[in-house]
Structures are given as structure tokens and as C-alpha cells.
Amino acid sequence: MFRTIQIEDNLFESCAGPNLVITSAEGMILRGNLFVSAMQDMPPDTGASYGITMNSVIWIENCKDTT
């Protein structure tokens, strides 16, 4: 379990597929991030074998206390 991680005030631009994939975290803070032109291209199959949905901008699984 990863603890006390902050992803704040980032710009994610023109990313195909999930822009953030977060698993096994506790006390995660996501705040002030900007997603521009997300999902404009066909997403790659990367992560499909793990069950990651390719039409999600953010994928969060097995996390506790995420805000």
C-alpha cells in the first residue's frame, strides 16, 4: 500500500486512454489537476490485461481515503 501521495495542479494534455491510473494507495489527494483534450485518440491496449477501462480519464482501484 502506497501512503500519503498528492497529485496536484498538473496539466494532462492530449493523452489517449487513462490519464491517471492509481491503485493500492491510502491517503491519496487529487486536487487542481486539469485534463485538456482527453480521449481524443484511440487508447492503447496497455493495462487491458489488468482490467483497466480504457474510456476512463482517471482509474482508481483498491484505494482508501482518496479525496
pLDDT band (50, 70, 90) for residue 52: confident
Is 46 a residue whose pLDDT tops 80? no
**Within a domain: 66:** no
Question: How many domains, the chain?
Answer: 1
pTM: 0.80
> Phi and psi (nearest 5°) for 49?
-70, -15
The secondary element (H helix, E strand) that includes residue 39 is none
**Within a domain: 48:** yes
**Within a domain: 67:** no
| Mean pLDDT within 37-55 | 80
Residue-range definition of the domain harbouring residue 45? 2-61
CA distance 37 to 64: 29
**Within a domain: 11:** yes
**Within a domain: 36:** yes
Any idea what DSSP says for residue 24? S
**Within a domain: 28:** yes
List, in sequence order, every beta strand (DSSP E) within the chain.
2-3, 6-8, 11-13, 20-23, 25-26, 29-31, 34-36, 58-61
**Within a domain: 46:** yes
